[in-house]
Amino acid sequence: MKTLKKILRILGKGLKWFFIFLIGLLLISGLYNLTLPDSSLVTKKLTTSQKAYLAEYMHLQNQLTKDVWPGFGDVQIPVIVYNEEYAFLIGLEEPEAGWHKMPSMEHRGGPWEKVSNDRFLDMYYYRQPLPDKNKTPENFTAKVGDKWVSTMQTREYAEVAFYSGFRNKLPPVINWVFPYKIFWNLIMGNADTYVSGLIHEAFHAYQGISTYDKFKQAESIARLSSEYPWESPKNKMGWSQEADLLLLAYNSESYASLNQYISKFLKHREQRRVSANISPQLIEYERKREWLEGLAKYVELKTGIIASESTQYESFPQIKELSDFKHYQNSTNYLKQQIDEVSRAASRSGESRFYYLGMLQAMLLDRIAPEWEKKIFKENIYLEDLLKANVTPG
């Protein structure tokens, strides 16, 4: 009895100190959150860091993307980045006013003005104010005149928007102590990840340039998101099984095992669509969104991997001066993190499953279908079609 009381007393003290330690951590997190920015420090011009990101983005296009996707490096894609007040256009001279939201061709914005008191790589760049926070260039692709451009938030504003958006989703008290900075670093990572994200959006522009009708269909069909049975138990379970099978295929060391798991994935996908009563229209929604976003995610990750492994590629001098630029040496670990995210993405509502399962299908095609990239832009050919055409049913 005395021994039991002694054990309980020790456990009680341990729990007491644990809770004190936990409360201390939460208090520190809450106080640290007070220091997080709620707006961009610089809005009227590009910061030195943002210029470095953009210089590396253009350098990757010139030097590396030809090794990431056939033909991608042959097209130089300008870029629009924006914060809460201004949009900035880099890589075009004397641009036409505004931009066209793609593929709807809705015209937004007004005249571009030269930023006369600043330069980007000894060249002028352009800006315009954003009077409506709901009509930004977004994170995708657009057209300025007849020129396709990639579009994305500045890194500083992306961080500000992340903190603000996350706070609004969390309940009171939790939204005060939540470790936003840690979570931001896990999601966005370092400068390398941001630049790879710019390449992701540039690839959307390349999809539009290469096969406009297919691009248009794949983006326009996003309207069906509200009709998709995200919460259907049969559909959710089926997606989780498909993710597991793709992961087993990805981790397979033998061709026989790889073939087996891809074949099972394709069968499970067909069964899920039948058992969950997925209509032909919504099946096309799945296929087209995996093509659009899965391929861009694949290109984003492959860019970092090739940059890290290449003995020839040398990053642009400006970005090397940034403390959070890691010369793509974290790309392998980041890829592992993204692979680990596949199962979680498959179980969540929303389109993230298309990014991750589409990306994984593309990586499997690298192993079983040489030069598959030449076929994936053809009409009515999607990722699962190429998998089906290159495995032995089993």
252 and 371, same domain (yes or no) = yes
Smallest Cα–Cα separation from 53: which of 151, 195, 201?
Answer: 195
31 and 52, same domain (yes or no) = no
On whether residue 217 sits in a domain, the answer given is no
Mean pLDDT of 326-354: 94
Give the pTM. 0.92
207 and 239, same domain (yes or no) = no
Instruction: Please give the residue range of the domain that contains residue 238.
Output: 226-389
184 and 243, same domain (yes or no) = no
What pLDDT digit, counting tens, does each position of 73-111 carry?
Answer: 999 999 999 999 999 999 999 999 999 999 999 999 999
Where a domain ends, among 212, 236, 267? Answer: 212
What is the number of domains present in the chain? 3
11 and 62, same domain (yes or no) = no
236 and 280, same domain (yes or no) = yes
pLDDT over 60 (residue 60):
yes
30 and 64, same domain (yes or no) = no
| The pLDDT of residue 94 | 94
On whether residue 240 sits in a domain, the answer given is yes
Q: Quickly state the pLDDT bin for 171 (edges 50, 70, 90).
A: confident
Q: Tell me the C-alpha to C-alpha distance, in Å, between residue 229 and each of 243, 265, 334, 351.
A: 18, 20, 31, 12
On whether residue 41 sits in a domain, the answer given is no
Would you say 241 and 282 are in contact if contact means Cβ atoms under 8 Å apart? no
274 and 178, same domain (yes or no) = no
14 and 69, same domain (yes or no) = no
100 and 57, same domain (yes or no) = yes
On whether residue 42 sits in a domain, the answer given is no
292 and 375, same domain (yes or no) = yes
* Residues sharing a CB contact under 8 Å with residue 324, sequence separation 6 or more, in sequence order: 190, 191
Q: Where are the alpha helices (DSSP H) in the chain?
A: 2-33, 48-63, 65-68, 155-169, 174-177, 180-188, 191-210, 212-220, 233-250, 255-275, 280-289, 295-309, 317-320, 331-347, 352-368, 383-389
273 and 177, same domain (yes or no) = no
Mean pLDDT of 316-338: 93
- Lay out the sheet containing 99-101: strands in order across: 106-108, 99-101, 140-144, 147-153, 79-82, 86-90, 126-129, 113-114
On whether residue 160 sits in a domain, the answer given is yes
Would you say 351 and 285 are in contact if contact means Cβ atoms under 8 Å apart? no
How many C-beta neighbours within 10 Å does residue 10 have? Answer: 10
